Amino acid sequence: MTAPIEPISAALPALPMPSLTPATGAAGSGEDFAAKLAEGLQHVQDLQNRASDLAVQAATGTLTDVHDYTIASTEAGLAVQLTTAIRNKAVEAFQEIMRMQA
């Protein structure tokens, strides 16, 4: 004969729920958001500058490893695409909020 199958809950002890702290208001995080945004844009600019510098080295023949330029230009291109996508989503969200108010 076969034994009955025990339920899974009986085999595993109950896991404790993590305590949640209340979120702080949006007014306190405005400066942090602006700083992170500026930091991100500066990083994109740095990636573009590095790719540009390596492109100049490639054109003048002083570039030792071509893959460095390839990687840098791909990173810069992806960073610009991501930045553009984030900007587009922010504009869409703003337009949606404006439509809600009208």
Name the residue range of residue 89's domain: 31-101
Provide the pLDDT for residue 101: 86
Give the total number of structural domains in the chain. Answer: 1
In a domain, 2, yes or no: no
In a domain, 9, yes or no: no
In a domain, 1, yes or no: no
Instruction: Divide the 102 residues of the chain into consecutive groups of 10 and give the mean pLDDT of each group.
Output: 69 59 60 90 96 96 94 96 96 95 78
The DSSP string of the chain is --PPPPPHHHHSPPPPPPPPPPPPPGGGGHHHHHHHHHHHHHHHHHHHHHHHHHHHHHHHT--S-HHHHHHHHHHHHHHHHHHHHHHHHHHHHHHHHHHHH-
pTM over cut 0.75: no
In a domain, 58, yes or no: yes
Is 51 in contact with 72 (CB distance < 8 Å)?
yes
Distance CA 4, CA 26 (A): 54
Provide the pLDDT for residue 3: 77
